[in-house]
Amino acid sequence: MKGVRPVGNTVLLCAALQVSAALAGDAAATGVVEAARPDTGKQWAFESTPAWRDEFDQPGPPDSSKWRFQQGGHGWGNHELQQYTDSSHNAFVENGVLNIVARKQKRQGMDYTSARLTSNKQGDFLYGRFEIRAKLPGGRGTWPALWMLPTDKVYGEWPKSGEIDLMEHVGFDPGRIHITMHTEAYNHRINTQRGATRVVADAMDGFHVYRTDWTPDAIRGYVDDQLVLEFPNEGSGPKAWPFDQRFHFLMNVAVGGDWGGKEGVDDNSFPATLQVDYVRVYPLVGR
């Protein structure tokens, strides 16, 4: 999300890798779910029961033991137009769903309000299977994101310590889901960004599962269990692969910005709501 940009001429890599057929059967019986086979030939597996999760079953504010609000209206590195708040008008749980709502509403010099939630220091993970089931807002100028950032920034500030985007969507290109990885070697500022897209025509009308499988060998991004992006660990060091440290979740709806506002903002799009049904983390077996 930080410094995010259009993916450009990315190529879907679904044909490069197939998910093991053993997702059921023996794997279920042993309590683990098999990961896709990396190029090394090693078979990684994930636990079948989440070790960290939020099902958003308790109405009211988001669970403060899992989430905290990041607030401010300074553009967030992308010239965004919203003021992030901790208001119940911008984030609340209702009917088993978390709602993150961007509104046309003046606040502290900004023309829009929204919310940005993070699990930093409350949900931090090294490797695993990460699933978020969500329904996206539509409308020109909206920019919802489900993503992850490094907790400890072992290799320095962005992009040196990496970024994992499970899902990004810009309202001026409805239904096109972006999955992207950012590192010092691979990022948009030097035209080397690694990402891929998939069109999900009803992404704004229904819930879909945005999933990332993260192992020491590769990070793979999926939509509804269909592989969209494979980002392998090429073994050349942290400039290309800083993903050997803890990361945490972020969920937000930005307004405008360098990418989200590329074709302007339609005020008729607001209020614009990102709905999240659940967030689940399945540990990598043996880690």
List the catalytic residues. 163, 168
Q: Is 225 helix (H, G, I), strand (E, B) or coil?
A: coil
For residues 25-42, b (16+ Cβ closer than 10 Å) or e, as one string? eebeeeebbbbbbbeeee
Tell me the HSE value of 97 on the side-chain side, using a 13 A CA sphere.
15
Cβ-defined contacts of 186-195 (< 8 Å, 24+): 186/240, 187/3, 187/159, 188/3, 188/4, 188/5, 189/3, 189/159, 193/5, 193/7, 193/8, 194/229, 194/231, 195/7, 195/10, 195/165, 195/229
Nearest-angstrom CA–CA distance, 160 and 52: 27
Residue 228 contacts by C-beta under 8 Å, 6 or more apart in sequence?
12, 13, 14, 177, 179, 196, 197, 198, 221, 222
Kindly list the distances between the CA atom of residue 137 and the CA atoms of 48, 171, 178, 253, in Å, as whole numbers in the listed order.
30, 8, 15, 8
CB 215 within 8 A of CB 223: no
